[in-house]
Amino acid sequence: MRKIVFVLLFLLYVGFSFSEYRENVTVQVLSKDKYIVKGAEVIFVNELNSVAGKITSRPYITGDDGTVTHLLYNNEFDEAKTNTKFSVIVRYGNVMREFEFDLKKMVPVLQVELPLEACYIYVYNEYGQLVNDAIIQANGMTFTSTGGMGYYFLLLPVGKQNITVTYNELVRTINADVRSGAVYNVKMFAYKAKIQLVDSFEKPLEGILYIGNKVYEIPKEGRVISFGETANPTVIVNYAGKEKTMLLSLGTETEDLIIPFDIDKPMIDKNVYFELKDEGLTVKVRIEDPGKYKSGLSNVLFYYRTNYEEGVVPFYVEDFGIFVGVVKFREKPSTFDYTIEASDKEGNVNYLTGRYEITAVPKNEELNETPKEVKNDSQVVKKPQENNEQNILVYIGGAILVIIIVYLIYSKVVKKD
């Protein structure tokens, strides 16, 4: 009986001594201008009892009204030691604040403010239309369109912030100076162009285009490439090992860009004209870089070798497509081998070889006479020559006439005698 009484008295003592509270606490997160902060993380910290110490709640995320609710409880055995104070830790992106409260001074909703400013972002496509499906990232947070209205409402820390806008695989970063009510208009459209490679005669080619660390294969039919928000991108285009570095100038509409590669050799006319003059041997030849997208001739050289010497002379332009060079001999040659080398601005080179034959070496005073013939490659270019056969016939006829006259005179003299 005494034991039962003792237990009852002990339980009665504990009941009067044990202090427990259970309290629902609602916290609302606001900006400094009283805008509701949606998506903030809220954690509650309170003391369970003097023995166990503090306990921390799971993270709560504020909803559309910016509030979260948490049940605080304490099971302190000694009422005198009951601690009714608790902390609320609020994190929003890179902003974090801690607030202290006391259950003895509670209000229905505890409001906490973060140092955030409101700003607005309007995102436009290439047609000037507002878009609702862009993704905005700033301050470690991700934002979507506000109610599908074509604008994005952001709460950000005041000061310098990087705001990243992503739309249709395009990414643009704004270096914003955040202040209350700031508005940012962002145009998100890509400069595009259809790239096609062709040769000098407009024949389609296959190649590769490099933009930074991106590589695009260009088929013969061409390819539409997006250059992002860069209106003047620098690209490297490669065809069969040949590379071109180009600075493009793009408009808002998709353009057709033809990038030519001159892969054709210059054309050298096989009819080479030679003329001996007092100053030496003049050589003329027609050379052109063919095609619509020709790069143009860069150099023409004339290599020669005679039975006395060899050398090289540059050609100059006498008329459109006509190149001229003059070879000065130390001694008059009897044979003349040559090679004409023509190169264009994209490194294509062509050669023409031949031999120029001089049947009779003219004297100094006869250097202006025209040689008998010119040979090169596979054909002979005939040149005017003196009519020596007619001269010989004239000489023979004259001699015969003289002989006849002498014979007749002699016959008359003999008859007289």
pLDDT per residue as tens digits for the range 135-173: 899 888 888 776 667 788 888 888 888 899 988 778 888
Whole-number pLDDT of residue 80: 66
Phi, psi of 243 (to 5 degrees): -120, 145
Whole-number pLDDT of residue 412: 61
pLDDT, average across residues 394-411: 68
Least confident piece of the model among 156-165, 185-194, 401-410: 401-410
Whole-number pLDDT of residue 153: 87
Nearest CA to 124 out of 178, 170, 74 is that of 170
Identical topology for domains 2-114 and 267-382: yes
Q: Kindly indicate the confidence band of residue 124, based on its pLDDT and cuts at 50, 70 and 90.
A: confident
pLDDT per residue as tens digits for the range 310-327: 899 999 898 888 999 998
Q: Kindly indicate the confidence band of residue 385, based on its pLDDT and cuts at 50, 70 and 90.
A: very low
Second-level CATH architecture of 192-260:
Sandwich (2.60)
Q: What residues does each domain of the chain span?
A: 2-114, 116-187, 192-260, 267-382
Query: At residue 174, does pLDDT exceed 90?
Result: no
pTM exceeds 0.85 for this model: no
Q: Give the burial class of 369: count Cβ atoms within 10 A of its Cβ; 0-12 exposed, 13-18 middle, 19 or more buried.
A: middle
Max CA separation in the chain (angstroms): 210
Tokens of 197: 């490679």
Whole-number pLDDT of residue 194: 92
Query: At residue 405, does pLDDT exceed 80?
Result: no
Nearest CA to 92 out of 125, 43, 53, 129 is that of 43
The conformational region for residue 345 under phi > 0 = left, psi -120 to 50 = alpha, else beta, is alpha
Give me the CATH code for the 267-382 domain, please.
Answer: 2.60.40.10
pLDDT per residue as tens digits for the range 279-306: 788 999 999 999 999 999 999 999 999 8
pLDDT per residue as tens digits for the range 253-281: 778 899 999 999 999 999 999 988 777 88
Distance CA 4, CA 261 (A): 108
pLDDT, average across residues 208-227: 92
Query: At residue 10, does pLDDT exceed 70?
Result: no
Whole-number pLDDT of residue 320: 83
More confident residue, 15 or 324: 324
Distance CA 145, CA 149 (A): 7
Give me the CATH code for the 2-114 domain, please.
Answer: 2.60.40.1120
Q: Kindly indicate the confidence band of residue 69, based on its pLDDT and cuts at 50, 70 and 90.
A: very high
Q: Cβ(53)–Cβ(15) under 8 Å? A: no
Whole-number pLDDT of residue 19: 52
Assign domain 116-187 to a CATH class.
mainly beta
pLDDT, average across residues 339-352: 95
Q: Name the one residue in this structure whose structure tokens are 């162009």.
A: 193
The mean pLDDT value of the chain amounts to 81
Q: Cβ(195)–Cβ(206) under 8 Å? A: no
Whole-number pLDDT of residue 416: 52
pLDDT, average across residues 37-57: 86
More confident residue, 1 or 109: 109
More confident residue, 176 or 18: 176
Least confident piece of the model among 114-118, 137-141, 186-190, 339-343: 186-190
Whole-number pLDDT of residue 51: 66
Phi, psi of 223 (to 5 degrees): -155, 135
